[in-house]
Amino acid sequence: MKIIITEEQFKQLINEDATSGLIVYHGTNHKIDKFVDDFIGGDQAIDANGPGIYFSDTEIDSEHFGPIMYTVRLNSNKFLTDKTKKGITPSKAAQLIKLRKDWQMNAQDWNENPNIGLNMFLRETFNAEENAKEILLAIWIGYYRYNPLEFARNCVKLGIDGINVTNHWGGGGSSEHYVVYNPAIIEVLNIKNGD
């Protein structure tokens, strides 16, 4: 008797994760030789969910951003989300803030003593915000607003490769957006020129 299995089943048999990574799309008007973080926070960046490189789980959603369509695999599971606070703790948030050289100056907006100010900011942020994405955005606005690239790179230093955000459309539809801080996790699979 001959047994026939698919390539995916074969990979699973040899303990290779056939479903590793996440397939997403990036629409743009510009040819991209390699995804890098240099343009994060640049003049043409749209940072509705904070600084980063934006991807969507649907091509239709990504087409709004340009006719050149990149299909990529995100090789990471180190994403925070807008669904839970999981992955971000007050301690990790404090580490992210303290990676800024002038964090004390911003903390003094909360209290003259920067350490007390930082604790006040963290307490209020963790009480007010419902999820990890909102906590990260509060840190970005409060401490990194004019240094988005430094924010993204410091998140990567702490093991945060990006955030996952559900984008709700009118009419009840939605898509998942992935705001990537770490370009090293982006593997280009296909490029369509939309001509």
The number of folded domains in the chain is: 1
Q: Would you call 16 helix, strand, or coil by DSSP?
A: coil
Angle between the N-to-C axes of helices 132-139 and 114-128, in degrees from 0 to 180, rounded to the nearest 10: 150
**Residue tagged 């009118």 (tokens):** 170
Domain presence at residue 164: yes
Asked if residue 50 lies in contact with residue 43, where contact means CB atoms within 8 angstroms, the answer is no
Report which DSSP code applies to 48.
B
Domain presence at residue 79: yes
Domain presence at residue 115: yes
pTM of the predicted model as reported, rounded to 2 decimal places: 0.84
Domain presence at residue 32: yes
Full domain range(s) for residue 71: 22-195
The sheet with strand 68-74 has its strands ordered as 79-81, 162-168, 174-180, 53-56, 22-28, 68-74, 186-192
Asked if residue 74 lies in contact with residue 22, where contact means CB atoms within 8 angstroms, the answer is yes
d(CA 45, CA 111): 33
Domain presence at residue 1: no
Domain presence at residue 12: no
93 φ/ψ angles, rounded to the nearest 5 degrees: -65, -40
pLDDT tens for the chain, 195 residues long, are: 455 655 554 444 444 444 468 999 999 988 998 999 988 877 665 677 889 999 999 998 888 888 999 999 999 999 999 999 999 999 999 999 999 999 999 999 999 999 999 999 999 999 999 999 999 999 999 999 999 999 999 999 999 999 999 987 666 677 899 999 999 999 999 999 865
Asked if residue 53 lies in contact with residue 37, where contact means CB atoms within 8 angstroms, the answer is yes
Give the count of alpha carbons within 13 A of 120, CB side only.
14
Domain presence at residue 125: yes
Domain presence at residue 53: yes
List C-alpha distances in Å: 28 to 67, 114, 152, 165, 192: 6, 42, 21, 19, 11
**Residue tagged 């996952």 (tokens):** 164
**Residue tagged 């459309």 (tokens):** 169
